Amino acid sequence: MLLYWKGCMSRYRTKSIIEAVEKILSYLNINYITLEDEGCCGSILYRTGQIKDAIKISEKNIEKLKSLGVREIITSCPGCFRTISKDYSNYYDIPFKVYHFSQFLLKFKEKLKLKELNAAVTYHDPCHLGRHMGVYEEPREIIKLVPKLKFIEMKYNRNKALCCGYGGGVRSVYPEVAIEVSNSLLSEINNNIDFIVTSCPFCKYSLSNKIKVLDISELIAMVLE
């Protein structure tokens, strides 16, 4: 059983990512389920040191997923990806594999028929996906599948990528710091690009105030034939 874990950020603030992921899954004729009562994965609690509360959420989620017979999980949120695959396994034996959507989608690249897109883009590496989980190349490989799309690397990329300013609860507690960090990243963007591609709802939300930002799922959904 494959489950699509949507994540709090996409469910409440970046719903277009959910629409894009589900459009692609439908295009690929992939059977999956979602949770009508999906709650928080516990990422923010783990990141802010509230471990006891985080473990309680982890246990509740694991039991729910077990009861549904889930064997694979895909998520478009790097925070959820890291939490469910890495943090949960620090305390429990998890009976399912967890993939970020970019990893999962790449397995079906031969089935993707994509339209040309005459544009120039760059890619922002999310902290949780890159430095935390080592996923750097899969999103880039997906971007390069789009015909005519010009890809320009950021000056600081992969494990040297700058933070978007949103992670770890910073945006909520220190909004002025988050904005400063976000502006610092945006100042490094090549002036010749048309939009940024990223693989994280938090990064999309944080960086979209000054430039167009698409999640990688939105990019692919946009060019499906």
Structure-block tokens of residue 7: 């994540």
Same-domain pairing of 157 and 142: yes
In contact, 65 and 35? CB cutoff 8 Å = no
Q: What is the pLDDT of residue 171?
A: 75
* Dihedrals phi, psi of 71, to nearest 5 degrees: -115, -25
In contact, 94 and 84? CB cutoff 8 Å = yes
Q: At 198, is the secondary structure helix, strand, or coil?
A: strand
Structure-block tokens of residue 159: 């494990």
Same-domain pairing of 134 and 194: yes
Same-domain pairing of 102 and 137: no
Same-domain pairing of 113 and 219: yes
Q: What is the pLDDT of residue 178?
A: 85
Pairing of strands 195-198, 150-151: unpaired
Q: What is the pLDDT of residue 67?
A: 97
Q: What is the pLDDT of residue 121?
A: 98
Q: What's the CATH number where 100 sits?
A: 3.40.50.1860
Same-domain pairing of 137 and 206: yes
Q: What's the CATH number where 176 sits?
A: 3.40.50
Which domain, by its residues, includes 102? 2-106
Tens of pLDDT, residue by residue over 115-174, are 999 999 999 999 999 999 999 999 999 999 999 999 999 999 999 999 999 877 777 777
Please give the single-letter amino acid code of residue 152: I
Q: What is the pLDDT of residue 209?
A: 84
Q: What is the mean pLDDT of each run of 10 residues along the chain (225 residues)?
A: 97 97 98 97 94 97 97 98 97 96 98 98 98 98 98 96 86 83 90 96 93 98 98
> Could you give the angle at the alpha carbon of 44 between the alpha carbons of 122 and 187, nearest 5°?
30
d(C-alpha 41, C-alpha 8), whole Å: 8
Burial level of 216, CB count in 10 A (0-12/13-18/19+)? Answer: buried
Q: What is the pLDDT of residue 145?
A: 98
